Structure 1
Amino acid sequence: MTRPFRVGIAGLGTVGASVVRILSRQNDILARRLGRPVAVTAVSARDRAKDRGIDLSTLAWFDDPVELARSGEVDCVVELVGGSDGAALRTVETALSHGKHVVTANKALLAKHGLALARAAEEKGVALAFEASVAGGIPVIKTLREALPGNRVSRLYGILNGTCNYILSRMELEGLTFADCLKDAQRLGYAEADPTFDVEGFDTAHKLAILTSLAFGTEIDADAIYVEGISSITPLDLAMANELGFRIKLLGVAERTSTGIEQRVHPTMVPKSSAIAQVMGVTNAVTIDADAVKELTLIGPGAGGDATASAVVADIADVALGKSEPPFGVPARTLEKAPRAPMQRHEGGYYIRLTVHDRPGVAAGVATRMAEADISLESILQKRSETAASQDPHGRSGAPVSLVLITYAATEAAIRSAVEKISGDGLIAEPPQVIRIERE
């Protein structure tokens, strides 16, 4: 009988338990596809007594995941501990140094140490697989690494965090504030008690760093990513986006430019006609722009135990078949250190919402500052609050009103300079809102 491919799982949270269940449920079909069975032989977790709804009684148990990584009981270590350093890093480093294959869902670990770990895996001739690290059940890693060798990617962008997409979707559809929607997301388990990592864009940035390396053959450079979160988005911004034919999404964008690889994470206005604008709730999506396929969009569940476990199992199956291509598509030593494209040089359309004093000359003053910065305006809309309109329906109340500007293509530096001068002129009553527009 062919010896089973032995798997050790470090971390038995929602994803780890789902991996055990899927491997058990799919045991027969996996054995037929792979030519040998896949068997979970060892596990590691903090609490042995916890009821996970799975039978672990026949498995070797390790309190320390690093000891599991050293064990002769396993051929492949599945790291689901989490975190960019500590036990997760030691577990993966130990497994690779002992010549064991590694499957991980840990985007923070890869964003920080991916290059070094890829080199270690290649030196030992073992696999480092991480499909589950980005976009859950969507096979975007495999697509970039294996399905597009005949393409030169020019841009990729995507909704990579289900928590943010859920919040923005609810805010748009129900008119909720960010704070109210976040509380509801926490109650439903879509957001953590401390949601900073998700809502301020850092989770998306880690995932974008991995995709950028795969798409452009560059070393991971998470520090090069410009990051903004969604906490400043208001119901008014979403309503204005809708009126103007857009939706607001938190996007991670990587793009070739004349000055280097531009990497950015921020709220973005996308045309409602685009595929990515239709993605609502906790769903993720990634669009790849390339010369041969033109535009390819992948949409699916970006999180959750079963969806993420599905990607983990797919990696386990590939490793069991003997697939161990370079983790980032090309040998790690050939990955280029791409020049960073400064965010100040980014060029595109902008939505600018200014809360201005409703008095003569204000709009003219704003327009003058825009012209001085060589910024052309596509449209200007003024929105008076219902309260101000009811108090003074025919004239100017002097109360703050919203002035919304849509620009033609302009540089980030020009936009920031103009907005700073408008603020200095005393024309606005609140901090300005600036949202970039991503055209199709």
Structure 2
Amino acid sequence: MSVEKVDTLVVGGGQAGVGMSEHLSKCGVPHLILERGRIAERWRSQRWDSLVANGPAWHDRFPGMEFPRTGPDDFAPKEEVADYFVAYAKQINAPIRCGVEVKLVQRNVGRPGFRVETSDRVIEANSIVAATGPFQIPVIPPVVPREAGMLQIHSSAYRNPEQLPKGAVLVVGAGSSGVQIADELQRAGKRVYLSVGPHDRPPRAYRGRDCCWWLGVLGKWEAEAPGPGTEHVTIAVTGARGGETIDFRRLAAQGLTLVGMTNAYQDGVMSFAPDLAKNIARGDASLMSLLDEADAYVACNGLDLPEEPAARRIDPDPECMSDPILELDLAEAGLSAIIWATGFAVDHSWLKVDAFDEKGRPRHQRGVSTEPGIYFLGLPWQSRRGSSFIWGVWHDAKHVADRISTQRKYLAYHAAAKREPVDA
């Protein structure tokens, strides 16, 4: 079988791959995108049925297209998000080849470029862009053994309440996914325990503006690195039911039982850390801090935005906070399922190049790898706080495409110089 040759190969046809294609085309860089599933596959098949985007449609999109069915201040359902990227790829004529998995990338020996083994054929490329995103391998901590006799699934495998057996549910993880799933299950009549760890809790909206707007005008999207100790802190925010500020005390009053971080399991008993009140207090502090900054911004700039004192109201602690559960006998509680909303790990095992540190993390500067010809896109904090968001990945793609284009010009000069006659 003949070897296919391309200038730049983009691995992944989600938001990162589509954004990358737009900027490569603008730079005149010939390229091909390989996607093992469908365009934006994870939005369709690895998210629950009722999921909507966490940011309003005016913000969570590419500059070149608006959402056709969702209003600018509303939150697009997951299927519309996937359809959006399909339509965007068509609009920019992105050269995406679906149903092809990249299995191995290795540098050519003694000549430029890389050899790429795929499920379809062998491809050679001068540059590789790993645009597979941050949500690749579901992480389930090895806490509860399989033989414990209950359903255990990751949040990426959850679809709807009808999927679960009768009985109570423990949701581990109180970021956006965990909170929304726990809330949905409780509203469906399930007895729900929610394990809450450290988190930030921004307002959904404040003084008539969405938190995405506040993060923008306050310059927080542009932060280039997370603060000390906050690299893995989850963000509790939701666009469900039109968007509302997540309030753990309200969820408890609604019927959820809050517990601290999940510690261990032994002989049918789950133990939790005595940190629930501390974790919720931390979330409260992050909320108040942002409200303070927003108020100061309004005063400094003389903006006509209505005051909202109700946003600062903190309800009394529910019993599950004042008298926290530290151990739970799962059988006595009637618990039949655990949903692990515990995040993802990246998988670059197919990329056999010298581009990673001793912990397997990409070595790069704004997506430009230390290994010449290798680039990354869609990584958390790739260049700023907003890098793994839809709009953020588009801007990062512009930078990466420019770097690829610049390298091609250097190589074109080298090739032309070799052809020029040397004066005697």
Same structural fold, with TM-score higher than 0.5 when normalized by the shorter chain: no
TM-score by length of 2: 0.25
Structure number having the greater helix percentage: 1
TM-score under structure 1 normalisation?
A: 0.25
